[in-house]
Amino acid sequence: MDFTFTEDQLAFREAISRFLMTEAPPEMLREIWDTDDGRSPELRGKMAEQGLTALSVPEAQGGLGMDDIAWSLLTQELGYYAIADSLADTAYVATGLLSALPEGTPRRDEMLSRIAEGNVRIAVGHSVNPLIADVHLADVVLLEHEGEVHGLRRDAIGFERNPSIDSSRRLSRVSFTPSADSLVLDAGQGRAVWAQTLNRGALAVAGQSLGLAQRMLDLSVDYAVQRKQFGKPIGSFQAVKHHLADVAGKIEFARPVLYRAAHALAHGEAGADLHVSHAKLACCEAAWLAGRHGIQVHGAMGYTWEVDLQMFMKRAWALDSSWGDRAFHKSRVANAILAPDAAIGPQYTFAE
């Protein structure tokens, strides 16, 4: 079995990385986040032109038809460059939800086509998230109610803005009244769709967290090379090396876990819940450690607004509990591996 990425997947990732490096530097993000909306329509339009919004939309609706494995690469880039929630929520999570709806569902194909074109924002509200990202700009809000899928325009719901420690996040607490007009899918079919949506949301956070961890490690290494004490770069001191090596190790152990979860989702494996929760825990732990050790390497300066590290550190903190906190995902892992019939062992990793 070949586990390597295709040339197209790697080329797409490299192209997106170069694009975001140019179009979304930290100084530009600071300016965007200082605005009331916290979003840039110009940047969103450029990302749509690059094909980001069309990535997983089916080809029949004008998309590229790529799967969760491709997103496991892309979300790392979104994390590395601290791109806000709305892109992944619309282009990946909402697209997956809409694609899972039965064919013929009203407005399904229309919404998928609009996502591919990049001219719609969709916010997704799952019961695991008390706060929903980017409702204030969403054209459509997809919400869960007792397993049902409801779709409403923003002006048909009530929402209260909630501040976040992460300047890139725009969170709201939503209230709405379910009705026959807003119902998209009943609870019988909706629960399975929401279970997939939860896994995609958690996988998106895992990928972004891994990208954040890598960015914080890179920033810390750069600082350790430039900052000198006693006439030597602090990176030459053994204690600093150990901190950075610990982070590098966490990242390298988390990355294959992320890819394993993406493979499970893409192929509809029965154990996808376990793999996604494992990835969420491993990647968020890597990001948490990268932030903690990054602060120790930078000293008190790492907390200040002028230093880039704090942007990525705060985002890692905020995303840690998004789409299920650690207790939730540890519980899913425990339920899977402690089950009487649990398939534990290397021979079960991939079915032949």
* Of 13 and 86, more confident: 13
Cβ atoms of residues 283 and 291 within 8 Å = no
Q: How long, in residues, is the chain?
A: 352
**pLDDT at residue 348 is higher than 80:** no
Name the percent of the chain lying above pLDDT 70: 96
Instruction: Tell me the chain's radius of gyration from C-alpha atoms.
Output: 20
For 2-52, the pLDDT digits (tens) are 668 888 888 889 999 999 999 999 999 999 999 989 999 999 999 999 889
Residue 173: per-residue pLDDT: 95
The model's pTM is: 0.93
Choose the weakest-confidence range: 217-221, 234-238, 327-331, 345-349: 234-238
What DSSP character marks residue 92? I
Question: 285 pLDDT band (50/70/90 cuts)?
Answer: very high
Taken in order 211, 295, 308, 42, the sign of the CA dihedral is: positive
Residue 338: per-residue pLDDT: 87
For 104-145, the pLDDT digits (tens) are 899 999 999 999 999 999 999 999 999 999 999 999 999 999
Task: Round to whole Å and give the CA distance between 177 and 107.
Answer: 21
Q: Which helix (H) or strand (E) holds 173?
A: strand 171-175
Question: 236 pLDDT band (50/70/90 cuts)?
Answer: low
**pLDDT at residue 247 is higher than 90:** yes
Strands (E), the chain: 122-125, 132-133, 140-145, 148-153, 158-162, 171-175, 183-185, 228-229, 232-233
Choose the weakest-confidence range: 56-60, 111-115, 152-156, 220-224: 220-224
Q: What separation in angstroms does the CA of 218 have from each of 115, 245, 251, 294, 340?
A: 33, 12, 12, 9, 43
Q: Over the chain, what is the mean pLDDT? A: 91
Which domains does the chain carry?
190-339 (1.20.140.10)
Question: 235 pLDDT band (50/70/90 cuts)?
Answer: low
For 147-169, the pLDDT digits (tens) are 999 999 999 999 999 999 898 89
* Of 269 and 346, more confident: 269
Residue 47: per-residue pLDDT: 92
Residue 272: per-residue pLDDT: 95
Question: 218 pLDDT band (50/70/90 cuts)?
Answer: very high
